[in-house]
Amino acid sequence: MAALVLPVWLVTAPAAGASAVADGQALASQRQCLGCHQVEARRVGPPFRAIAQRFAGRPGAARHLADAMRQGSRGQWGAIPMPAQTRLSDTDALRLAHWILTLAKTPQP
């Protein structure tokens, strides 16, 4: 089994600041996440900041979020289920999950 190599901005996310946030938001845009989610406001799904706050500090949170993205989930944020994002690679799902978790600490605009 090959080791997962994460980009430097994920490993240093708390110190990376605005560039990590911009990179994460760009990836979310590229993967069409922003069609259902926004950083601050509820759209179809919960805002990314609310997800970050719910899972902040939990062991395994990034893996849990990545799995929820790829496999889908239901009943955690209301009646509307999160459809499985089967075209999202495991690496991109983890990158997105790590970015989302940084939003719990990012100052709101």
Query: Domain spans of the chain?
Result: 17-69+84-102
Per-residue pLDDT tens digits of the chain, which is 109 residues long? 444 444 443 444 444 556 666 788 899 999 999 999 999 999 999 999 999 999 999 999 999 999 999 999 999 999 999 999 999 999 999 999 999 999 997 666 6
Provide CATH code, domain 17-69+84-102: 1.10.760.10
Nearest to 99 by CA among 33, 41, 4, 2: 33
Cα-flanking dihedrals φ and ψ of residue 44, to 5°? -80, -45
Q: What is the pLDDT of residue 63?
A: 97
User: pTM of this prediction?
Assistant: 0.77
